[in-house]
Amino acid sequence: MVDMLSPYIVAGVAAWTLAQGIKILLARLKKRSSWRSLYLSGGMPSAHSSTVTAVLVVVGVTEGVQSALFGITLLFSAIVIYDAVKLRRSSGEQGNAIVALIKEQKSKVSLPRVALGHTPLEVLVGILLGIIVGIAIYFVFNT
């Protein structure tokens, strides 16, 4: 059965699923609406970071760090991680400021949904999770 699956896809899906599962668990522990954690952006750990890192690890150990595929995957991962921690975080903070202004002015404008990015810690934990998942998937496919 394992021979019919791509370790790259399995690593990405497994890392994303595990990261989102952890978000649901943490939301339940904090007594928040846990199922909303599946589709809201932001949160601990970063599913973006864990997904691309897991794929990067599998590519690195399977194809080698000198391969073109690893180089492409590394650049893609860096862009996704940068976007999660810098650009999306910044736009989330701007969204919070807009919401605060609308409330302060008692405007009748409907409040926008603010999409948060990730803190550096959320991204770091996502990267660590991705490394663990990537190594585990490599061993599942190579034993």
- 43-88 pLDDT tens trace: 789 999 999 999 999 999 999 999 999 999 999 999 999 988 877 7
Question: pLDDT tens across 98-139, in order?
Answer: 878 887 877 777 777 776 777 889 999 999 999 999 999 999
- State which residues form the domain around 83: 2-141
Read off the pLDDT band of 143 (50, 70, 90).
confident
Read off the pLDDT band of 33 (50, 70, 90).
low
Mean local confidence (pLDDT), 17-45? 77
List CB contacts of 142: < 8 A, sequence separation 6 or more: none
Biggest CA-to-CA distance, the chain: 63
The residue whose two tokens read 């660590």 is: 128
pLDDT on residue 101: 80
Residue 37 has pLDDT above 60, yes or no: no
Q: Give the number of domains in the chain.
A: 1
- Contact present, 127 and 52 (Cβ < 8 Å): no
Give the distance, in angstroms, between the CA of residue 91 and the centroid of all CA atoms in the same chain.
17
- Contact present, 125 and 48 (Cβ < 8 Å): no
Residue 2 has pLDDT above 70, yes or no: no
Residue 38 has pLDDT above 70, yes or no: no
3-state helix, strand, coil in the chain (%, to 5): 75, 0, 25
- Contact present, 114 and 41 (Cβ < 8 Å): no
Residue 6: phi, psi to the nearest 5?
-90, 125
